[in-house]
């Protein structure tokens, strides 16, 4: 009878071990699934941030290009004001900018070579003189 009891206990022990092993496999499968969910979520978060940064960079680049065009428009307006014969000081006071800013635009305009009819441009647009000084408001400078 001791042999039957021992066999019965071994069968029960084996069932218990198999049940525990099955529960462990289920838990492992669930953990693997959750780990996959975690990694998918973090990858999505990184991709979202990278896309937002890419879009922001494009937006900033476009804004800078538009701002450069607006600054050039403003400088062209100052050149037109100078062409009316108004003094640099008068224009500076009217625009609330420094005389040196108006002078920088005037000097840059006078240093630009006039394009010849056959040259198609001189390449001076990207030169330092053509860009002038970036001060567009306030009384920076002491030559008022």
Q: List pLDDT tens digits, range 8-17.
A: 999 999 999 9
For residue 140, give the DSSP letter. -
pLDDT for 25 beyond 80: yes
**Rounded to two decimals, what is the model's pTM?**
0.51
- pLDDT at residue 135, as a whole number: 47
The answer to whether position 50 is within a domain reads yes
Show the domain range for 106: 11-114+126-131
- CA atoms of 76 and 85, how far apart (whole Å): 15
Tell me the per-residue pLDDT of 60-98, one tens digit each, with 9 for 90 and over. Answer: 999 999 999 999 999 999 999 999 999 999 999 999 999
Q: For the chain, what is the domain count? A: 1
- CA atoms of 86 and 91, how far apart (whole Å): 7
The answer to whether position 22 is within a domain reads yes
- pLDDT at residue 112, as a whole number: 72
- pLDDT at residue 117, as a whole number: 52
């Amino acid at each position: 009878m001791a042999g039957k009891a021992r066999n019965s206990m071994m069968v029960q022990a084996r069932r218990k071990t198999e049940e525990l092993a099955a529960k462990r496999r289920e838990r492992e499968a669930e953990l693997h699934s959750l780990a996959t969910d975690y990694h998918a979520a973090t990858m999505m978060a990184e991709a979202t941030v990278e896309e937002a940064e890419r879009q922001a960079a494009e937006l900033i680049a476009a804004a800078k290009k538009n701002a450069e065009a607006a600054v050039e428009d403003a400088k062209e307006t100052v050149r037109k004001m100078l062409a009316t014969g108004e003094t640099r000081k008068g224009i500076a006071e009217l625009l609330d900018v420094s005389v040196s800013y108006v002078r920088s635009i005037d000097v840059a305009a006078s240093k630009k070579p006039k394009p010849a009819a056959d040259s198609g441009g001189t390449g001076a647009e990207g030169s330092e003189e053509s860009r002038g000084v970036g001060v567009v408001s306030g009384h920076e400078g002491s030559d008022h």
